[in-house]
Amino acid sequence: MLETAESGGVAARVSFRPPPDEGWLELLSSGLTFDLLGLSPAGAAAAVEAPHSYGFDDIQAPCALEAVDLVPGGHIAGGAGLLPVVRTQVGIAAALALELPVAAVAWQSAGTLMEPRYFARVVMNWLAGGAFPALGLTALAAGSDGSIATKGLSRFIGQEMQLEARDGEPPADAIKLAIRVVDYLVRNGRLTEPREIEAPGGNLLAEPSQVGRQIWVWRGG
């Protein structure tokens, strides 16, 4: 099934199969190994807290799910945030989500839960050269002042981002702009000095905090 990934995602094969009662498999793809944990007859993987949901038709995402984990193998666990590792990991997950009766896909570092077809679509678009899945592999939360803050971006660049509010700006427009900024930051990596980012309606100034792991994004004049 995964060797060809005909429905999408990244091709993979089982590279190690322990006794079934251990409840896990090792998958190999692009020279990287990942462990699929929580398989029957062993107990399910631990549930993930996911306050942010994307792609579901109704507001309420499914709950009380039995989880399996797809995690980087031991030899690459230290590089779990490296883009080649993440791209392979989510590509395998997209293939699994399309081939199996999956109810939802969780991304733990962002606290997100995604509808499987939505997850596969945004991941495969990213793998094909499209925008980074900011609404899924990160979460975007609006503050009471209209600012937009990320959760989970630090897994990719070691920093989180906050986009300042603009008076009278519709929340949907602020989210779209934040998505654009997240894509830029993932493509360009950790920010070490102030930088201008081109954006519709005027350039932005992205400035790393002197302490902590925060990027402040200000509107152009």
At how many degrees (to 10) do helices 116-127 and 83-99 cross? Answer: 140
Q: What is the pLDDT of residue 43?
A: 85
CB 137 within 8 A of CB 107: yes
Length of the chain: 221
Closest CA relative to residue 161, chosen from 119, 218, 121, 201: 218
Cα separation, 38 vs 22, whole angstroms: 9
| Number of other CB atoms surrounding residue 194 within 10 Å | 12
Low-confidence ranges of the chain (pLDDT < 50): 7
Cα separation, 137 vs 107, whole angstroms: 6
pTM of the model: 0.89
Q: Report the first-to-last Cα separation within the chain, whole angstroms.
A: 54
Q: What is the pLDDT of residues 62-108, one digit of tens each?
A: 666 788 999 998 778 787 788 999 999 999 999 999 888 899 999 99
